[in-house]
RNA sequence: GUGCCUCUAGCUCAAUCGGCAGAGCGCCGGCCUGUGGAGCCGGAUGUUACGGGUUCGAGCCCCGUGAGGCACCCCA
């Protein structure tokens, strides 16, 4: 086949809108962050779960309300109607319905994996993206809700964030808005949809939006006054208790939140990180109790994750009616913000040491040394093109982010030594050949300590 | 799925009224070097996102497609 024919037949390489390739440098960061999240989930005693990416369409349909149009669906070769999972919560509900007898309740699981939505892509919004969820099924305890907040706190601080906030609200507060403003319940969705934009368009914008949807000015002002209340959690709770005294369901919700904040503090959430935020809006068709979302200032991607209690969902898939609560961390948004802030470390290669082979030297001793390093637990690679001179090998290591280069050329062999050089520090050290592995292992752990103490690389 | 904006070298950006496609950084090749990040010499930087149209002539104007972004919608 000639090149011309080849070019004509070859399709333009491309990826679909909202889908992405992850090159090694990006994958290292993704794996770094998912490892942090996995560590947090497991530290709180959540067990891993995985489920198929495809589900029968009837499992996915009807549980996701308005977003059904965002479902990727197709007919498979056997004529079955199939959908790609839209979130990780529906699969959890299905697992609980199918395996209820095998699960110990409360069932605590975490699940990290891709989900698909045929949405219009934007910054931090993709058609294929990862969610990292932790949920508890089978308890109504507010401790479980507080645990969700505590997990968020541990996850975000574990990733290096310091300026995050976890906003907390309650379904009962949201549903109380309409009666509080003297409006019929049917206006609740309109009110919630509007106050959800408070951050973006401000109080005046929210008021305009409400009025544009037929809410009387007085009622809009009343709602805005309530959701605009700020202060310490105790202050806001007290004020809302007063304002919503006539609405028993709201009182119960506020009581939940009072406990939640106490529990969260005891679970290690620092003062000011879990904030009662009455303007936090979450979908009404889903959540039944406490709800929360995480924010970082100037993130530009909306919330980094959300969660809450959904006591009525599990039963809808045919299993026992079980209460549930949980969180979802948006890996992509986390990474967008981390990348923008230069927090996405882990720029080093997976390779810890390159074993150099000098030009015209025998490659076998280098291969043997690499083998020893690997047996010693060091991720090592060996120069694959020994015609490259030593400087080119340095440059290869530098460019790839390999921190160490190990040289055991003819000079070292004659002296019975190895030379270990740290690329960035330009630090040469000579060790006896038979101590190469232990010496490098020692240098690596020394370096890791240094990185932890001082994340700024030279 | 709707509306609007954007797309020039690997990256960041230029290109007067429609008149020869440019800079910096990076990259590639050669030479040299058992201890470097360089030097010297040389080179490509390119289907101006893609496909059409108008024009003597299109990076620039028009239409379509794709991708990215913003706002809806919704959400991670």
A321 and A371 part of one domain: no
Let me know: does A390 contact A337? Beta carbons within 8 Å.
no
Domain assignment present for A167: yes
Q: Tell me, yes or no, whether A203 and A122 share the same domain.
A: yes
The nucleotide minimizing the C1' distance to residue A129's CA is: B76
Domain boundary among A340, A363, A379: A340
**A223 neighbors A195 (Cβ within 8 angstroms):** yes
Q: How many CA atoms does the CB half-sphere of A188 hold within 13 Å?
A: 18
Domain boundary among A340, A366, A382: A340
Token readout for A438 is 């232990």
Q: Which helix (H) or strand (E) holds A128?
A: strand A128-137
A307-326: pLDDT as tens digits? 999 998 888 877 788 999 99
Exposure letters A49-72 (e unless 16+ CB within 10 A, then b): beeeebbebebbbebbeeeeeebb
The span from the CA of A29 to the CA of A335, in Å, is 8
Please report, for residues A163, A274, A352, A431, the alpha-carbon distance to residue A401 in angstroms, rounded to integers and kept in the order given. Answer: 30, 38, 9, 23
Dist CA A307 CA A282 (whole Å): 9
CB burial class (10 A; 0-12, 13-18, 19+) of residue A315? middle
Q: How many CA atoms lie within 13 A of A351 on its CB side?
A: 19
Nucleotide nearest to A17 (CA to C1'): B67
Q: Which of residues 222-241 of A touch strand B (CB under 7 A)?
A: none
In a domain, A79, yes or no: yes
Where does residue A132 rank: exposed (0-12), middle (13-18), buried (19+ CB within 10 A)? buried
Q: Which domain holds residue A363?
A: 353-453
The pLDDT assigned to A455 comes to 40
- Are A333 and A301 in contact by the 8 Å Cβ rule? The answer is yes
Strand B contacts in A 256-285 (CB under 7 A) = 283
Q: Which of residues 294-333 of A touch strand B (CB under 7 A)?
A: 300-306, 328, 330, 332-333
Across all strands, nucleotide nearest A358 (CA–C1'): B34
Q: Are A167 and A193 part of one and the same domain?
A: yes
**Residues of A from 16 to 45 whose C-beta is within 7 A of strand B: which are they?**
16-19
Look up residue A212 and give its two tokens: 């544009």
CA distance A424 to A181: 64
d(CA A335, CA A156): 11
Chain B: nucleotides under 7 Å from a protein CB? 1-3, 27, 32-38, 47, 66-76
Residue A250 has what pLDDT? 94
Handedness of CA A131, A138, A269, A42 (dihedral sign): negative
Find the Å distance, CA of residue A403 to C1' of nucleotide B70. Answer: 41
pLDDT of res. A11: 60
Cα A138 to Cα A96, A135, A231, A374, distances in angstroms? 10, 10, 34, 46
- Whether residue A177 lies inside any domain: the answer is yes
- Residues 109-168 of chain A within 7 A of strand B, judged by CB, are 117-127, 129, 131
Domain boundary among A340, A368, A401: A340
> Is residue A14 assigned to a domain?
no
Give the ipTM.
Answer: 0.82
pLDDT of residue A377: 93
Residue A178, SS3?
A: helix
Do A140 and A278 lie in one domain? The reply is yes
Q: What is the pLDDT of residues A354-371, one digit of tens each?
A: 998 887 788 888 899 999
End-to-end CA distance of chain A: 51
**CATH code for the domain of A421:** 3.40.50.800
Same domain for A230 and A313? Answer: yes
- The DSSP letter of residue A125 is B
CATH number of the domain residue A36 falls in: 3.30.930.10
Q: With beta carbons less than 8 A apart as the criterion, state whether A129 and A332 touch.
A: yes
Tens of pLDDT along chain A (458 residues)? 333 333 344 566 778 999 988 888 788 888 889 999 999 999 999 999 999 999 999 888 866 555 577 899 999 999 999 999 999 999 999 999 999 889 999 999 999 999 999 999 998 999 999 999 999 999 999 999 999 999 999 999 999 899 899 999 999 999 999 999 999 988 888 899 899 888 888 888 899 999 988 899 999 999 999 999 989 999 999 999 999 999 999 999 999 999 999 999 999 999 999 999 999 988 767 899 999 999 888 767 778 999 999 998 888 877 788 999 999 999 999 998 888 777 765 556 788 899 988 877 888 888 999 999 999 999 998 887 767 778 778 877 877 778 889 998 888 888 899 999 888 777 888 999 999 999 999 998 887 776 554 443 33
pLDDT of residue A339: 80
- Name the nt closest to A286 by C-alpha to C1': B75
């Amino acid at each position: 086949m000639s090149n011309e024919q080849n070019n004509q037949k070859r399709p333009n390489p491309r990826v679909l809108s909202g889908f992405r390739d992850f090159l090694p440098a990006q994958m290292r960061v993704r794996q770094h962050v998912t490892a942090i999240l996995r560590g947090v989930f497991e530290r709180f005693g959540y067990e891993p779960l995985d489920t198929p990416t495809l589900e029968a369409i009837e499992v996915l349909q009807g549980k996701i309300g308005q977003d059904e149009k965002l479902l990727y669906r197709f007919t498979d070769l056997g004529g079955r109607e199939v959908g790609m999972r839209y979130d990780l919560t529906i699969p959890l509900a299905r697992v609980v319905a199918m395996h209820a007898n095998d699960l110990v309740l409360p069932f605590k699981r975490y699940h990290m994996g891709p989900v698909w939505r045929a949405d219009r892509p934007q910054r931090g919004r993709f058609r294929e993206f990862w969610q990292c969820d932790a949920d508890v099924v089978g308890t109504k305890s507010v401790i479980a809700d507080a645990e969700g907040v505590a997990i968020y706190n541990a996850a975000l601080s574990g990733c290096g964030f310091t300026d995050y906030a976890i906003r907390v609200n309650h379904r009962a507060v949201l549903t109380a808005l309409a009666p509080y403003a003297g409006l019929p319940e049917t206006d609740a969705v309109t009110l919630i949809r509007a106050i959800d934009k408070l951050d973006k368009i401000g109080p005046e914008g929210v008021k305009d939006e409400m009025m544009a949807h037929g809410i009387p000015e007085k009622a809009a002002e009343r709602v805005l006054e309530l959701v605009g209340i700020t202060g310490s959690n105790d202050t806001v709770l007290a004020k809302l208790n007063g304002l919503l005294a006539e609405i028993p369901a709201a009182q119960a919700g506020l009581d939940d939140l009072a406990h939640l904040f106490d529990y969260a503090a005891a679970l290690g959430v620092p003062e000011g990180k879990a904030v009662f935020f009455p303007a936090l809006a979450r979908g009404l068709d889903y959540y039944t109790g406490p709800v929360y979302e995480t924010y970082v200032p100037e993130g530009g991607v909306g919330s980094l994750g959300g969660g809450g209690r959904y006591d009525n969902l599990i039963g809808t898939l045919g299993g026992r009616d079980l209460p549930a609560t949980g969180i979802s961390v948006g890996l992509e948004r986390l990474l967008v913000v981390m990348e923008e802030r230069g927090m996405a470390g882990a720029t080093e290669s997976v390779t810890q040491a390159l074993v150099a082979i000098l030009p015209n030297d025998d490659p076998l001793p280098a291969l043997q040394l690499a083998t020893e390093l690997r047996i010693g637990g060091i991720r090592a690679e060996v120069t694959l093109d020994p015609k490259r001179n030593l400087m080119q090998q340095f440059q290869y290591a530098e460019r790839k982010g390999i921190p160490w280069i190990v040289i055991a050329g003819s000079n070292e062999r004659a002296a019975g030594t190895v030379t270990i050089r740290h690329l960035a520090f330009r630090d040469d050290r000579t060790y006896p050949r038979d101590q190469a592995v232990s010496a490098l292992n020692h240098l690596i752990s020394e370096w890791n300590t240094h990185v932890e103490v001082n994340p700024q690389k030279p």
